[in-house]
């Protein structure tokens, strides 16, 4: 059954008439055309679909849209400001922290939430925080380096 759902998306108010059980991932990708958030496993296993809700990294493939009612959702499309990449985006690009790039939006949004909670994580804390995000291109080490650069620990 359709419900009215309102929330903030990348700093702007959104109002939708939608089945409340529809997942945030497909609302973003199909209904709102924000395809930066990726569909990988659909089972909360890979992290490709990660967005930030409030201050938490969340797997959008598992989150019913009604759960974001009244909350702030940030996707990869909302990170750059005034045409300027977010430092995490720049560090990933500068250090080549990807190959195919499919995991990258989820990696960056997970790192964003990690740095919100802990702006100066140790390498071990970064590895632990990113552990459940998978990169089939094996860019994990450069991903850790990019996050370290932004955290100012390199």
Interacting residues toward ligand FES by CB under 6 A: 39-42, 44-49, 59, 61, 98-103, 135-137, 139
- Dihedral angle computed from the Cα positions of residues 71, 107, 62 and 132, in that order, rounded to the nearest 10 degrees: -130
Q: How near is the Cβ of 82 to ligand FES at its closest, in Å?
A: 27
What are φ and ψ of residue 88, in 5° steps? -65, -45
Q: How near is the Cβ of 142 to ligand FES at its closest, in Å?
A: 9
Q: How near is the Cβ of 44 to ligand FES at its closest, in Å?
A: 5
Nearer to ligand FES, 47 or 121 (CB): 47
Nearer to ligand FES, 12 or 134 (CB): 134
Q: Give 83-89 contacts, CB < 8 A, sequence gap 24+.
A: 86/112, 87/150, 88/112, 88/115, 88/146, 88/147, 88/150
Nearer to ligand FES, 5 or 103 (CB): 103
Q: How near is the Cβ of 59 to ligand FES at its closest, in Å?
A: 4
The residues with which 51 forms a beta bridge, in sequence order, are: 58
Determine how many CB atoms are found less than 10 A away from the CB of residue 55.
Answer: 11
| Residue 43 near residue 32 (C-beta atoms within 8 A) | no
Three-class SS state of 3: strand
Nearer to ligand FES, 45 or 80 (CB): 45
Q: How near is the Cβ of 46 to ligand FES at its closest, in Å?
A: 3
């Amino acid at each position: 059954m359709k419900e009215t759902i309102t929330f903030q998306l990348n700093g702007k108010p959104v109002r939708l008439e939608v089945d409340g059980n529809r997942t945030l991932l497909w609302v973003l990708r199909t209904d709102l055309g924000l395809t930066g958030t990726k569909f990988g496993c659909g089972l909360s296993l890979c992290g490709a679909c990660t967005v930030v809700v409030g201050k938490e990294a969340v797997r959008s493939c598992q989150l019913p849209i009604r759960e974001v009612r009244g909350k702030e959702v940030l996707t990869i499309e909302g990170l750059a400001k005034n045409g300027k990449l977010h430092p995490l985006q720049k560090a990933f690009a500068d250090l080549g922290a990807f190959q195919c790039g499919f995991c990258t939006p989820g990696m960056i949004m997970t790192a964003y939430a990690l740095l919100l909670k802990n702006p100066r994580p140790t390498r071990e804390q970064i590895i632990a925080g990113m552990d459940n995000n998978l990169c089939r291109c094996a860019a994990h080490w450069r991903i850790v380096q990019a996050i370290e650069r932004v955290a100012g620990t390199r």
